[in-house]
């Protein structure tokens, strides 16, 4: 059974940085998971795709929500079955619960229904 476990996050002031990590377990092969990403959900709001990385190409195609472009970076270590989200210049509106996500095959840019989703880690940006 595939499971995703997040770590990192926490509290920071505006302009600060945080990192999230996601470890995938229960795989028979690292190639089992083609697509990894991060969703977030703020109180009273819907779930939003923040970033995704498609490992079907050697370069690893990435995409980001417009609100985080230039500030967040997603990366993946396929050998270790981990993904990372580096968040710089965090703003108040970035406060949310961030969840790691994965798909075995498809990796759509408008990804809204991940096959696997972690429990989530809180990121709080406050003055």
Q: Evaluate if residue 58 carries a pLDDT over 80.
A: no
Contact 18, 8 (CB under 8 A): yes
pLDDT number for residue 78: 83
Which tokens hold the place of 22? 């996601």
Name which of 13, 30, 112, 15 is nearest 77 in CA terms: 30
pLDDT tens digits for range 40-49: 999 999 999 9
pLDDT number for residue 90: 98
């Amino acid at each position: 059974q595939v499971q995703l476990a997040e770590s990192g996050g926490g509290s920071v002031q505006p302009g600060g940085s945080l990192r999230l990590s996601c470890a995938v377990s229960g795989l028979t092969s690292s190639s089992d998971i083609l697509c990894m990403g991060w969703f977030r959900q703020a109180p009273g709001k819907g779930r939003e795709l923040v970033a995704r990385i498609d490992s079907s190409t050697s370069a690893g195609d990435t995409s980001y929500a417009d609100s985080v472009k230039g500030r967040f970076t997603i990366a993946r270590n396929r050998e270790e079955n981990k993904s990372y989200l580096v968040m710089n210049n965090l703003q108040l509106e970035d406060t949310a619960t961030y969840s790691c996500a994965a798909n075995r095959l498809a990796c759509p840019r408008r990804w809204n229904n991940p096959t696997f989703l972690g429990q989530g880690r809180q990121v709080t940006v406050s003055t």
